[in-house]
Structure 1
């Protein structure tokens, strides 16, 4: 049963869901982040009688997401969640970096109320846009009395912030949750739950350095055929603070690249080993000199970034 008395705040950040194209048949040649979040809400008739607020936090293509926007977004989400009359927050977001923003917000805020990211694969001007239904479903999840933590709701499926990842370039159900599977789904406005909502101790907004320009530099390098250590050594010369290696298979790394990573680690650079495989975590390699994470590389980078700030 949904919470009928509480308010949902919808925060807009741009993305395809707010994108427009010259033709209704154009699903790729559009400009993201063109429509205000208030316009997105007003375009869904079923939302008109619900207690909602809309606030524009940013207006960008999520491929261009940056730390300053993350910091502002986290603060605004935290502000609204602290309001007694607010039962949840919905964030309209682009699909390209949604998985990173979701993980960032979960680790920083660890909310006990729901924070629901939603998006679209087609612009708002498409003949059959997917954004309106996704937004309606997201609000429904935000109003669900048992919902908590950061989730993503796209194509009727609820994904947890820890596992969600973009797995397809074009189709409407472009997101997956790996081996863990989705948290649940939304069917005719009703939430059907399959596994627990995201939980975890929040790092807190205080972990974020006030000036995003001063956040540690963390980069991703990939192990591949003929991978050497030149890129790692160049990044160390640029003052990189952390490195995530997207390893092959079950965490294997080219011997020359591994040598460079061990050198970097010995010099004080924090290193995390992930895998470039689409499915499955690294198993059975916990004793290796390079620390292992079950996170995909994009989220491992966010995790390392936050660990470095917390360590400071």
Structure 2
């Protein structure tokens, strides 16, 4: 009896010591396809955000061997309904988690429609250099060969690794690791849905092992100038995409509606046709900052090329796609309306 007691005592102590060595990972769930349910396993139609976080965690074999897992439901929406309000809530919760030492790493489950935007927003506003990793899936949890469990396993492995520290906000998908700034969704249906057109992946996860190829340079984290503590909203910024013979209707309407800034998804090197150049000039004259981005998702929009930005009064997005340029302009406008300072943000972040 004494030997049996000693055996169980030592086993409990060993398990306790093992558990203490595992990192603590907090999973913040927002909904999306990864939490989706369909009518049958062979149909693509599904309802986003139908499963709670506890069910997502339970569906991943071996995840408890990577870390001590806990979960919270921040929202439960398809990411087409992601909002600034949810972004602010996420940012506040992540900063709170690290301030109070509640976890060693944070994983966010998120729909893919706007995942690249949330990743960039958090990369500019989270005030800690500890791991923040986003992931999701292209197939709902009820589908044949659902990709969500593997992506979530990899995201936890990354957040639990020493390589994730000081790397900024990361996005992991289909075994590739991307900087939150650089990740772009480039497929509507394929499981390899994300790429980073200007830089490529910065690492890979295979069999739960993290290998980093490079470290992101353009990141903010604890040194971010964008302190949104106490804010419940951000300045409204609109995006206008251009095309052949595009009229200035959208720009004029947004200015009339009182938006605080405009990003143009221009042609080629962010170019504007004559009608929209005139509309942009009028917007700038009325005090509305305008950022020239491009509808092309790789390459840079350069200063003083085909467009005389000094004369027109515009800002260039550098290599940010329009939806990410919008985020930086919204955050920039919480700090300044000075055109030179706003332009500097685009070259820094």
Q: Compute the TM-score of the two structures, normalised by the length of structure 2.
A: 0.84
Q: Say which SS state the counterpart of residue 138 (structure 2) adopts.
A: coil
Deviations 1:167-186, CA, capped at 9 Å, x for gaps: 00000000011121111110
Divergent runs of 4+, >3 A: 283-287
Map of 2:144 onto structure 1: 127
- Partner of residue 323, structure 2: 298
Are the structure 2 counterparts of residues 136 and 4 from structure 1 closer, same or farther at C-alpha, using a change threshold of 3 Å?
Answer: farther
- Residues 92 and 229 in structure 2, CA contact (< 8 A), matched pair in contact too: no
Alignment-derived partner of residue 203 in structure 1: 225
Q: State which drifts further: 135-144 or 49-58.
A: 49-58
Radius of gyration: which is bigger?
Answer: 2
How far the C-alpha of 1:209 sits from its partner, in A, is 5.8
- Tell me, yes or no, if the aligned pair for 1:209 and 1:309 is still in contact at 8 Å: no
8 Å CA contact 1:110, 1:150 repeated in 2: no
Over 3 Å counting, the alpha-carbon distance change for 1:203 and 1:72 in structure 2 is: same
Higher normalized helix content (fraction of residues): 2
- Report what 1:42 is aligned to: 58
Q: Are the aligned partners of 2:88 and 2:232 in contact in 1 as well (CA < 8 Å)?
A: no
1:33 aligned to which of 49, 52, 67: 49
Shift of 1:141: 0.5
- Distance (Å, rounded) in 2 between the aligned partners of 1:227 and 1:4: 59
- Distance in 1 between the 2:188 and 2:46 partners? 15
Q: Partner of 1:90 in structure 2?
A: 107
Corresponding residue for residue 103 of structure 1: 120
**2:201 matched residue in structure 1:** 182
Q: Equivalents in 2 of 1:256, 1:85: separation in Å?
A: 54
- The size of the alignment, in residue pairs, is 306
- In the alignment, which residue of structure 2 is the partner of 1:5? 22
Q: Aligned Cα RMSD in Å?
A: 1.7
Whose relative contact order is higher, 1 or 2, with alpha carbons under 8 Å and at least 6 apart? 1
**Contact 1:99-1:165 within 8 A present in 2 as well:** yes
Equivalent in 175, 178, 183 of residue 159 of structure 1: 178
- Output one character per residue of 1:64-119: Cα deviation in whole Å (capped at 9) or x when no partner: 01111111111111111224362210000000000110010010115311100000
The Cα shift of 1:208 comes to 5.5
Deviations 1:287-310 (A, max 9, x none): 623211121000000111111122
Deviates more, 1:104-113 or 1:149-158: 104-113
Q: Which runs of 5+ in 1 are unaligned?
A: none
- Answer yes or no: is 1:246 the counterpart of 2:265: yes
Q: CA deviation at 1:231?
A: 1.6
Asked if the contact 1:12–1:92 (Cα under 8 Å) also holds between the matched residues in 2, the reply is: yes
**2:244 match: secondary structure:** coil
Match of 2:285 among 257, 266, 278: 266
Find the aligned partners of 1:165 and 1:110 in 2 and give their Cα distance.
23
Matched with 2:236 is 217
